[in-house]
Amino acid sequence: MFQRYPEPCYMRILKVETVDAENSERPRKVKVTVEKTWRGVTIPKPVEIFSSSYKADYELIDKEDEHKFLQNSSKIVEKILSTHVELPPLLREFVSDETGEKNPQMKVHFKSTDNKFVRLAKDGEKPNVFVTMGLGQPAPVSLKLYEGVL
């Protein structure tokens, strides 16, 4: 179980197969087919774990303790991204000189998957996450490095 998120993250084992070792020096591996639930959402297709099955990162949970993982009802807020984002400052100057546009923007390309809770805004929909180009706000400790720049 990943302890990083408040939502339940776990894998339910569906099938375990042993894999013959190619040579005797390497540890024996197994191929595990699991139903993966990440941040409260169950991935529709079973996932196969093979190359990382030897790691000790996984924790087996007793049947009696399963309800603790399944009871968590935390919901994730979906993030909606804008379909266009401003160009970085130097590139913006080059494109602006070439095209004559005052504020050129580039189209956002985003690959959506089953376990991402971010999507692009549809026509007429207002995004709730805005990506901007800039320095951001530096930590108070490093403010002296930015004197005369900000």
Dump pLDDT digits (tens) for 94-148.
999 999 999 999 998 888 776 677 889 999 999 998 888 776 777 888 888 888 7
Domain co-membership, 45 together with 63: yes
Number of domains into which the chain is organized: 2
Beta pairing class for 79-81 and 118-120: parallel
Do the domain assignments include residue 84? yes
Longest dimension (CA), the chain: 67
Structural domain including 95 reads: 79-146
| Domain shared by 62 and 98, yes or no | no
Same domain? For 86 and 117 the reply is: yes
pLDDT in tens, 12-29: 889 988 877 666 566 667
Q: Which residues contact residue 117 at a Cβ distance below 8 angstroms, ignoring those fewer than 6 apart?
A: 39, 41, 76, 77, 78, 79
**Do residues 58 and 83 both lie within one domain?**
no
The answer to whether residues 55 and 91 belong to one domain is: no
Q: Does residue 1 sit within a domain?
A: no
Where would I find the beta strands (DSSP E) of 20-126? 29-38, 41-42, 47-49, 79-81, 84-86, 105-107, 118-120
Q: What is the pLDDT of residue 150?
A: 57
Is the confidence at residue 1, as pLDDT, over 60?
Answer: no
Q: Compute the distance between CA of residue 88 and CA of residue 72 in angstroms, rounded to an integer.
A: 41
Give yes or no: residues 86 and 137 share one domain.
yes
